[in-house]
Amino acid sequence: MCGIVGYISNHCVKSDLIKGLKKLEYRGYDSVGIALFDVNQNIKVLKNSGQIKDFISKYKNDTSDGHLGIGHTRWATHGVPSDNNSHPIFDQNETIALVHNGIIENYLDIKKELIDEGFKFKTDTDTECISNLISYYKNKNKDTLRSIKLTFQKIKGHAVVAIISKEDPGKIFGFKKGLAGSLRIGLSSNKISIASDLETIKSTSEKYISIDNKEIFVATLEDVLVISKDKKIEKEWISIDEKSETISKNNFDFFIEKEIHEQPEVFLSNFQNRVNFSSKEIDFSKELKGLNLDEIKRINLFGMGTSYYACLLASYWLEQISKIPTQCHNASEFTYRNPLVEENTLAISVSQSGETADTLSAANLIKEMKIPQIAITNTNNSELEKVTKNCINIGAKTEIGVASTKTFTATLEIFLLFAMYLAQKRNPGYPKTKIFQELKSMPSQIERILDNTKHIVDLAKLYSKYDNFLFLGRGYNYPVAMEAALKLKELSYVHAEGYPAGEMKHGPISLIDSKMPVFCIITEGSHRDKMISNIREVKSRNGKVIVLTNCSEKLDKSWYDDIIIFEKTEDLLSPFLSSVSIQIFAVNLALARNLDIDKPRNLAKSVTVE
C-alpha cells in the first residue's frame, strides 16, 4: 500500500526514481509523483493521478533533474486520487516535501490545531498534517531533525515517511512509526537508495539496513544516521549477495498469466531440501532451527484474503494428517477481540508480502503472549519474520499480479508438507505412500491443465455476461470455493460468493435463478453424494450449474449445464488442481470483460494499513 523510493547520488537521479517507482507500482497505482532537489537547489515536484505510464507521458518534455529525490506511488486512503492529493506533499511554504505510507489517526486534531495557528491546507490527505507540522516546529526551533522528532512524537497511527527540506540539501530524512510496511536503505560507493522493498534497491546497493518501528533516519551520500529513543544506534548492514530477479512477462500479455503458468516449477522447487521421496520423509528442521514442536497441542493460523483461505484449507490438512487440533483466524478480527490462546499452542501467520498490517498486528499480539510462532511468507527478511523469528519461505519468487495465484498454491504446498512433517511424529500411520506418490506427480498434473486451457477459456467467455456467481464446495473444496469467489471478484468485478455447500439451503438458495451461475466443486472423496444433492437442488430451481470435478463419470449430464474436468488424485491434493482451473477461468472471464488483470481497480499487492 503505497511505494516509497528515494536516491542520493553524485549523478542525476530522476531516471532512478522512475525505475524504482515502476518496480514499486504493485503497492498502489492510483497516482504517482517525485520531488527533486534541482540544480538551483529548489524542490521541484512532478506528480499526477493515474499510473506511472501516465506520469511518463505527462512529463515527457520535462528536463528537470537533480542529485537527490524522493518518489511515491499511491494507494489512496485520505482524499481521492487526484493530481493535488498525489504525493510528494509540500508544507504550506513549499520548503518541505514528503512521501508517506500509512494512516495518521489524529490528523483531524492536528489539522485543526495548525489551522488555528494560521496554516493553510491544500490537499485532502492526512499526510499534509505531517509536512505542515514539521514546518510549524521548524518555524520555532529552526532545526529540521528536531522538528521531525517532535512531529514523530505528536502523530498517532502508522507512518513510513521520507522527507526532503530546502534548507538541507544532500539529505533525505525519514522515519517509521507503527505498522506501515518496510523501508530499506541501500548503500554503494556512489549512491544511497531508499525503498519500500529490497528488490527495488538491489541493483544500486551493495548492502542495506531496514528502518524499524520508532526509528528516525538522516541519509547523506556518505552516511546514514539512525536514531531511536533520541539516541544514535548502530544498525547491522546486510550485504546484498543475490542478484535482482529479472522480471518480465516472457511471452505472456500479463504478469498474472505468466505467474499462473509458473506454478508447476514453483511446486517442484519447493520439494528441494524438504522432501525425500525415497525415504518418504519431510524435513523442516533446518528452516525451523530452535523451535521445539514436540509439546505443541494446538495450532492457530492467521491470515487475510487469499492467505486466510490458504489457512482455512491448511486447518483441514493439519487436523487430518497431523492430528493436531487447528483453528483458523481472520487476523483483523483476532487482534481486537481480546483473544484467549492456550499454552502449548503453535501460531502460524501467513502473508505472501510479509507486510500485511492486520496479520502483523495479530502476530505482535501472539508475540506478547509468548506463544511460539512461525511466519509463512514469500519475502526474505520481511516485517512478519522480524516478529515471528521463525520463517518458512514459500519460494514463489516475485509475484507482480495483484491477485495472488502462485503464492496461493505455494503457501498450500508448504502447509501440506508441514502437516506431513508433523505427522511423522504425531500420526505415522497416515496414508504416506499414496500421498507421496501423488505429490510427486502434482507438478505434471498442474502442467497438463495449463497446456489444455481452451475449454476453460471458452467457458469463461461464455459466462462473462453474468454479473453474479456462487461457488460451492464441501470439505477441502469449501476453502477452494471461497478463494475462487475472491479471485472472480478481484479480477473481473463480478459479484461472487463462496459458501460451504451445506449452507446453501440456509439462505443463499433464495438467490438462485437462471441469471446466477453456480459453480460446484465435486471431488471423489469430499462428500461427493451430498454435493450431487446440492447440484440437483440448484438445477430444480432453474439455476445454471457449472461443475468442476474429477469424478465426471458419477455425474449425469442432465444435472449440470457445463463441466470442467481435472485429473483424479488423492482427495486432499485435489485443491491444487481445482484452484489452478479456477484461476484460468477467473483470469479469462476478466479478459473477456476487457479489464487490466494485473492491476485490478482499488487494490494493492501489499496491504500495509489496517
Geometric angle at alpha carbon 2, from 73 and 155, rounded to 5°: 120
Cell numbers representing residue 262 in the block: 509458473
CA distances from 52 to 34, 194, 608 (A): 11, 19, 21
304 binds ligand M6R (CB under 6 A): yes
Contact stretch for ligand M6R (CB under 6 A) within 168-176, 206-214, 286-294, 298-306: 298-306
Strands 495-500 and 468-473: parallel
Q: Is 583 in the site for ligand M6R (CB under 6 A)?
A: no
Q: What is the dihedral of CA 284, 287, 293, 297, to 10 degrees?
A: -80
- Residue 398 sits in the site that holds ligand M6R (CB under 6 A): no
| Phi, psi (deg, nearest 5) at residue 284 | -115, 10
Of the residues 1, 70, 548, 607, which one makes contact with ligand M6R according to CB under 6 A: 607
CA-nearest of 226, 216, 225, 219 to 205 is 219
- Judged by CB under 6 A, the stretch of 20-28, 197-205, 299-307, 468-476 that binds ligand M6R is 299-307
The enclosing H or E element of 282 equals strand 281-282
**Residue among 71, 181, 305, 443 that touches ligand M6R (CB under 6 A):** 305
For residue 372, is the peptide bond before it cis, meaning its omega torsion is within 30 degrees of 0?
Answer: no
User: Angle, nearest 10°, between helix axes 305-322 and 406-426?
Assistant: 20
Rounded to a whole number of angstroms, the minimum distance from the CB of residue 258 to ligand M6R is: 16
CB of 407 to ligand M6R, least distance (A): 7
- Tell me the number of residues near ligand M6R by CB under 6 A: 15
Nearer CB in complex with ligand M6R: 306/477? 306
DSSP letters along 264-275, please?
Answer: HHHHHHTTTTTE
Any contact of residue 151 with ligand M6R (CB under 6 A)?
no
The amino acid present at 456, given as its one-letter code, is I
Residue 373 is classified by DSSP as E
Could you say which DSSP state residue 277 is in?
Answer: T
Rounded to a whole number of angstroms, the minimum distance from the CB of residue 402 to ligand M6R is 6
Region of residue 230 (left: phi > 0; alpha: psi -120 to 50; beta: else): left
Distance between CA 240 and CA 406 in Å, rounded? 25
In a 10 Å sphere around its CB, with 0-12 CB exposed, 13-18 middle and 19+ buried, how is residue 37 labelled?
buried
Task: Compare residues 175 and 302 and give the one whose CB is closer to ligand M6R.
Answer: 302
Going residue by residue from 461 to 500, which x/- string records binding to ligand M6R, judged by CB under 6 A? -----------------------------x----------
d(CA 123, CA 84): 6
Q: Tell me the closest approach of the beta carbon of residue 397 to ligand M6R, in angstroms.
A: 15
Is the Cβ of residue 326 or residue 404 nearer to ligand M6R in the bound state? 404
Of 45 and 366, nearer to ligand M6R (C-beta) is 366
Amino acid at 455: H
Which is nearer to ligand M6R, 315 or 523 (by Cβ)? Answer: 315
The rounded distance, in Å, linking the Cα atoms of 230 and 145 is 11
**Catalytic positions:** 2, 605
CA atoms of 56 and 48, how far apart (whole Å): 10
Residue 372 interacting with ligand M6R (CB under 6 A): no
Beta bridge partners of residue 374, listed in sequence order: 348, 390
393 binds ligand M6R, rule: CB under 6 A: no
The residue at minimum Cβ distance from ligand M6R is 305
- The letter for the amino acid at 7 is Y
**DSSP 3-state of 135:** helix
- The smaller minimum CB distance to ligand M6R, of residues 545 and 607, is found at 607
Q: Please identify, using beta-carbon distances, which residue of 201 and 304 lies nearer to ligand M6R.
A: 304
* All three cell numbers of 299: 495450532
- Quick one: which of 144, 353, 393, 526 contacts ligand M6R (CB under 6 A)? 353
Residue whose CB is less far from ligand M6R, 69 or 600: 600
Does 307 participate in binding ligand M6R (rule CB under 6 A)? yes
Using CB under 6 A as the binding rule, whether residue 603 contacts ligand M6R is answered as: yes
Restricting to residues 425-454, name those near ligand M6R by CB under 6 A. none
Question: 3-state class of 345 per DSSP?
Answer: strand
Site string for ligand M6R, 333-352 (x = CB under 6 A): ------------------xx
Return the range that interacts with ligand M6R (CB under 6 A); candidates 14-22, 113-121, 233-241, 398-406: 398-406
| 399 vs 561, beta carbon nearer ligand M6R | 399
Q: How far is the CB of 358 from ligand M6R (least distance, A)?
A: 8
The set of cell numbers assigned to 493 is: 468485478
Candidate list 48, 131, 359, 398; residue touching ligand M6R; CB under 6 A: 359
Q: Is the dihedral of CA 409, 411, 414, 417 positive or negative?
A: negative
* Piece of 13-21, 155-163, 302-310, 552-560 that binds ligand M6R (CB under 6 A): 302-310
404 binds ligand M6R (CB under 6 A): yes
Can you give the binding site for ligand M6R, defined by CB under 6 A? 304-307, 351-353, 356, 359, 402-404, 490, 603, 607
